[in-house]
Amino acid sequence: MRLFMVRHGESENNLKKLFTGWVDSPLTEKGYKEAESIRPFMSQFKFDKVYSSDLIRTVETAKTALPDCTPVTTPLLREYDVGSLSNKSSIDCPNQSEQIAVAFKNRDYTPFGGENIEIVQERLNKFLKTLEEQDLKNVAVFAHGGIVLTMLLKILGQHNIGAIRRPNCCIAVFDYTNGRWTCSSLIDPKLLNPSCDSNDQGNLL
């Protein structure tokens, strides 16, 4: 099985540099253009299944990149829940800037009522298990930067992902063979369409 995992296009909260988490934040005009820029590449493949997080920014990305598809939505593919940080930036919480920096570094938003990496990994594993139980060749998954990161951590480990960029509409390609997931490539949308000025917002949820 080959899995094409796509991060959503630029959202309104990406543009405003706000934490988003489970809050719905629609795509910007640029976000739609980013999703359109990967359409020629994605349209080369016949997908047995197309999945998306149930948040609007991923659904809009899926429907723009693959306009003939109706994605199956699931909350298992949602971004990290960042709790009380939703719709806020570090500037909005000056007395908590150090705590926010630690949460971001450790991928642990439980102090703010959100999720940590173990919780996100557990729900991602539940989703992957549903795929592993099916006889599928190509699968498209539209998700979030945090989900792409968690998948990479699962495969590559903490020490191998520090320099990996995850811009909006990047495409991470994974293979499942003989009970094991591997990562074959991570595609920057700029390489597919140089005119697409993809936003490098890998650090915003």
Concatenated DSSP letters for 75-133? GGGPPPP-GGGTT--GGG-GGGHHHHHHHHHHTB-GGGT--BHHHHHHHHHHHHHHHHT
What is the total residue count of the chain?
205
Q: Could you give the angle at the alpha carbon of 47 between the alpha carbons of 176 and 11, nearest 5°?
A: 95
Q: How many whole angstroms separate alpha carbon 174 and alpha carbon 5?
A: 8
Residue 27's CB: how many other CB atoms inside 10 A? 25
Concatenated DSSP letters for 46-86? --SEEEEESSHHHHHHHHHHSTT--PEEEGGGPPPP-GGGT
The catalytic residue positions are: 8, 79
Give me the sign of the Cα torsion angle 101, 107, 111, 114. positive
> Which tokens hold the place of 189?
């949308």
- C-alpha separations of 159 from 29, 125, 147, 188 in Å: 35, 21, 17, 21
